[in-house]
Amino acid sequence: MEHPTAEAVLQGVYTLYNNPNKQEKEKASRWLEEFQKSIHSWEIADQLLQQKHDLNSCTFAAQTMRNKIQNSFHELPESAHESLRQSLLEHISHITLETKPVIVTQLSLALADLALLMSSWRKPVATLLERFSSNPHMMYAVIELLTLIPEEINSRYLRLGANRRKDVLTELETDASLVGEYLLMCLMNCNDNEVLQTKILKCFAAWVQINAFNLSQIGDNMIVAYSFQLLTNVNTKAEIHDAATDCLCSLLQCLETNNNGNGLDVKLFNGILSLEEAYNMSVAQEDLDKSLNLCRLFTVLVESNLVKMVAGSEAVSPHYSIKGLELVLMCVGHYDFEVAEITFNMWYRLSEDLYQRNNETLTAHFKPYVERLIAALYKHCQMEADHEGLIQEEDSFKDFRFKVSEIIKDVIFIVSSISCFKQMFLILQSPNVTWESSEAALFIMENVARNILPEESETVPKVVEAILNLPDNCHIAIRYTSINILGELCDWIDSNPETLEPILNFLLCALQQKNGLATAAANALQSICSSCKKHMLGHINGLMEIARCLDGFEIQTESAIGLLKGISIIIGRLPGEQLTTAMQELCSFQVQALSQLTTGEDDGLGVKKDRHDPIFWVDRLASIYRHVNPTIPDTEVNPCVFVIVSNWNVLSRAMECYKNDSKIMERIVRCIRYAIRCVGKQAMPILEPLVKQIIIIYSGHNHSCLLYLGSILVDEFAGEPSCIQGLLNMLRAFIEPTFQVLQVENGLKNHPDMVDDFFRLVARFIQRSPFQLLQSPLVTPIIQCGLLACTLDHRDANLSVMRFFCSLLSYGRHDRATELRSIVHGILQQHGESLIMNLLYASVFCLHSYMLSDVADVFVEIKQLNPQQLDGYVRKAVDALPKKNSGGCMTVTNEQMIEFVESIVKSETPRAVTQALQEFARLYR
């Protein structure tokens, strides 16, 4: 971009915000984006801030300055840092109470980020306080700055690096007393200005969160006392109530990882316990926001004490902090389920800790609390008495009940499933019980039913009998939840087969119902088929009849596919000839419809739109292929082969017909994948035509799913000598169109699925047929592509690249064939240095921390081949990395570099290498 003028930028901003012409707005937006990326934007943004032309231009200039500092600070030479600092301080000094908050925030962010990045600016907090603290008109701006500096320390945009971050935190700790004094002064002089009071609390919380304050001296802090005062006062406004809650929550979270509070934890605990009355008042006044805040505070109180609470409750008496659960349960009992939901993560954490410890005495201390939790959730799960029909999918209440299901499954071991089941059954037997109470009890029972032991004979038979004898006029929700319970009792039914036939008859009737019951029945049947395989064989005729009538039932698509899964599982247990006949018939319903679609003769498929979508039928066929799965020795003909080969022409025609549609192609390929997995090498009759077809389609339509299918073919057939050359030709045909896509600008980034599937294919080839691939000329361009793909921050794609390198390098080990070893050592000699260079650069600058374990596997493979080479490669790679960040601060010291190289070379396990990589990467982040 040529050097623009301030007037041109002003015109662009004016057009963006005021021109009614949409095309002109978009043109201005693109131009301004390019301007912000240019080196000239530093100077012009500064000019616009000085001119104060209008709100929009000032906002744009402030945002530009903040963006440049966050993302392009490296553009400025160190000699320009000081003038930028003076300029920003000057702009900040002109802020008044009338300045728009968005401009204050953007300018403050810019200066805060500069303070963190600019290593030559010593004691920035002290500088700001010295310059502005005596000016009462600057109070708002200074508090904003003091809030953002600690908040921005962990910003992922700044990449401060661990060394700089440590220095800054140390510096801020020394300034914390100054900040505390300033905030107290502001609190006393803000004249009850609620905006400033809120800002003060938020600022205090920000400094607490970075552990800047000495916790042993904070117990009597006036701001902490003021937070309690605000939460106790029924007249406190919402925003400042939020800030006071955040302030105390920050303190609790800080104490959770810090034991030097000198009694602050007990003081806070008792102070929060005293807020029970404030919570009760918020409920009485129906002030939901305050109830939510106090519930959050009570929950964080328990979470911050959780480790001590559980560890300290292993004795006869529980830890004192267990009282916090009383406050949490009080909140779970709130009339609005949104309040109860806040506590769910705490219950999950508690259950995880108790489960890991597996101590009955300890668990017993918490059992009464969990019993009360379930009782409260049962009440929350009740529908309105006048509710008709089932709960709609988009209803927030449906989402809440799903979360209740999850939390009950997490905590139920504490009270035992059968105990809960019996307790709910007692509710069902209560006189004059309402339908909504019954349904909620059944819902709780549904969530524990799968855990009930098969030998239970006291309560479950009564429940099953009651479900099978539900009156015709019972509420549909009761019938729906009862059907779900039968599905969850599938393991119990398997051990009590005498109940199977009446249950199946009940579900068959439900399949013919509408309004969601048929879908529930289909899901229940799938579960029973999966668990009761042996007993369901005798009902195969009934299941096939259900399959014939499937499109006559009002079943959701996923549930219909699930039902076909259940039927297919049973078919897979039939004797050979029967299996072929049944599978052929089950597939024929789907294949016939798909055939009609591909030939344009789909008039007979009905008026429903989804019946004319090939995915509808392909997914059904895929479910059958995936789940028939008979147990057949390799020496015998698989009874599924005849069906799969017979149906091949229709799938082949579908691929040709829909080759322009990536979504449909993915589903067809998935179906073919399951077909090949079903019969393995016995799919040989379709191998050659399939390979020819996918090569042709891929050359014109780069569907990455075809690469994935190629990897399946390699996995199944590369062990057959007669197939290897054909598969190698397939790989060769895939390479050129793949590289054409990936080699354009941002090609790797824009096509991670293609990277994932391509390197999965290559890795499979190396695993199944290493000689043929490693001796071919294809290996060099593949490795070069892999080297470029090391930096791709897409989890699956990067994992496939790393597995490719691991598979390749593994053939250099001593237990491999001599010829292979020499090839791999030659590859390492040629590409090893570039590989380590790219892996280390990716680990430091590109990949997420959780992805480094995959990179570590490659380091370990290289070490096993040649530790000396690894040492040399790592030293060169480390030496090539920048030693200073954009702010002029030392990113990594010589000692840290030496320590990292030694830790990598000495590490014996991937885990140790991962840890070394993560610690080294933190120096740059």
pLDDT on residue 880: 95
Q: Do 221 and 313 have their domain in common?
A: yes
Determine the distance from the C-alpha atom of residue 516 to the mean position of all C-alpha atoms in its chain, rounded to a whole number: 30
pLDDT at residue 224 is higher than 70: yes
Q: Do 375 and 260 have their domain in common?
A: yes
Task: With cut-offs at 50, 70 and 90, classify the pLDDT of residue 886.
Answer: confident
- pLDDT, tens digit, 9 for 90 and up, residues 402-431: 999 999 999 999 999 999 999 999 999 999
Task: With cut-offs at 50, 70 and 90, classify the pLDDT of residue 30.
Answer: very high
Q: How confident is the model over 258-283, as a mean pLDDT?
A: 89
Average pLDDT of the chain, as a whole number: 94
Q: How confident is the model over 186-193, as a mean pLDDT?
A: 90
* Domain closes at, from 513, 542, 573: 573
Q: Do 381 and 520 have their domain in common?
A: no
Question: The CATH number of the domain where 498 resides is what?
Answer: 1.25.10
pLDDT at residue 764 is higher than 90: yes
Report the alpha-carbon distance of residue 590 to residue 461 in Å, rounded. 39
* Domain closes at, from 701, 716, 737: 701
Please identify which residue in the block is written with the tokens 């310059």.
131
pLDDT on residue 735: 96
Tokens of 52: 């104060």
pLDDT at residue 809 is higher than 90: yes
Cβ atoms of residues 42 and 85 within 8 Å: no
Q: Do 396 and 442 have their domain in common?
A: no
Q: Where are the beta strands (DSSP E) in 507-612?
A: none
pLDDT on residue 368: 96
Assign 292 to helix, strand or coil: helix
- pLDDT, tens digit, 9 for 90 and up, residues 7-19: 999 999 999 999 9
pLDDT on residue 96: 79
Q: Is there a domain that residue 550 lies in?
A: yes
Task: With cut-offs at 50, 70 and 90, classify the pLDDT of residue 260.
Answer: low
Q: Do 636 and 519 have their domain in common?
A: no
Q: How confident is the model over 678-691, as a mean pLDDT?
A: 96
Q: Do 230 and 332 have their domain in common?
A: yes
Task: Find the helix packing angle between 641-657 and 614-628, rounded to 10°.
Answer: 150
pLDDT on residue 98: 82
Q: Is there a domain that residue 821 lies in?
A: no
Q: Do 529 and 435 have their domain in common?
A: yes
pLDDT on residue 389: 93
Q: What is the DSSP string of 487-513?
A: HHTHHHHHH-GGGHHHHHHHHHHHHT-
18: buried, middle or exposed (CB in 10 Å: 19+, 13-18, 0-12)?
Answer: exposed
Q: Residue 884 forms beta bridges with which residues? A: 890
Q: Do 317 and 431 have their domain in common?
A: no
pLDDT at residue 261 is higher than 60: no
| Alpha-carbon distances, residue 548 vs 520, 542, 635, 644, 712 (angstroms) | 19, 10, 33, 20, 32
Give the up-direction half-sphere exposure of residue 663: CA atoms within 13 A in the CB hemisphere. Answer: 4
Q: Do 610 and 500 have their domain in common?
A: no
pLDDT on residue 332: 98
Assign 316 to helix, strand or coil: coil
Which H or E element spans position 748?
helix 747-750
> Cβ atoms within 10 A of the Cβ of 748, count?
22
* Domain closes at, from 408, 429, 449: 408
Q: How many domains does the chain have?
A: 3
Full domain range(s) for residue 338: 214-408
pLDDT on residue 418: 96
> Cβ atoms within 10 A of the Cβ of 740, count?
11
Q: How confident is the model over 29-37, as a mean pLDDT?
A: 93
Tokens of 257: 């990882």
pLDDT on residue 604: 66
Give, rounded to a whole angstrom, the gap between the first and last alpha carbons of the chain: 30
pLDDT on residue 885: 83
State the amino acid at position 793 in one-letter form.
D
Report the alpha-carbon distance of residue 91 to residue 145 in Å, rounded. 13
Q: Is there a domain that residue 453 lies in?
A: yes
Q: Do 404 and 541 have their domain in common?
A: no
Q: Is there a domain that residue 790 lies in?
A: no
Q: Is there a domain that residue 326 lies in?
A: yes
pLDDT at residue 888 is higher than 90: no
Q: Do 373 and 434 have their domain in common?
A: no
Task: With cut-offs at 50, 70 and 90, classify the pLDDT of residue 632.
Answer: confident
pLDDT on residue 228: 97
pLDDT at residue 191 is higher than 90: no
Assign 516 to helix, strand or coil: coil
Q: Is there a domain that residue 613 lies in?
A: yes
Task: With cut-offs at 50, 70 and 90, classify the pLDDT of residue 113.
Answer: very high
Question: The CATH number of the domain where 333 resides is what?
Answer: 1.25.40
Task: With cut-offs at 50, 70 and 90, classify the pLDDT of residue 264.
Answer: confident
What is the share, in percent, of the chain residues with pLDDT greater than 70? 99
pLDDT on residue 259: 65
pLDDT at residue 394 is higher than 60: yes
Report the alpha-carbon distance of residue 886 to residue 76 in Å, rounded. 8
Tell me which of 213 and 887 has the higher pLDDT.
Answer: 213
Q: Do 401 and 424 have their domain in common?
A: no
Q: Is there a domain that residue 488 lies in?
A: yes
Q: Is there a domain that residue 316 lies in?
A: yes
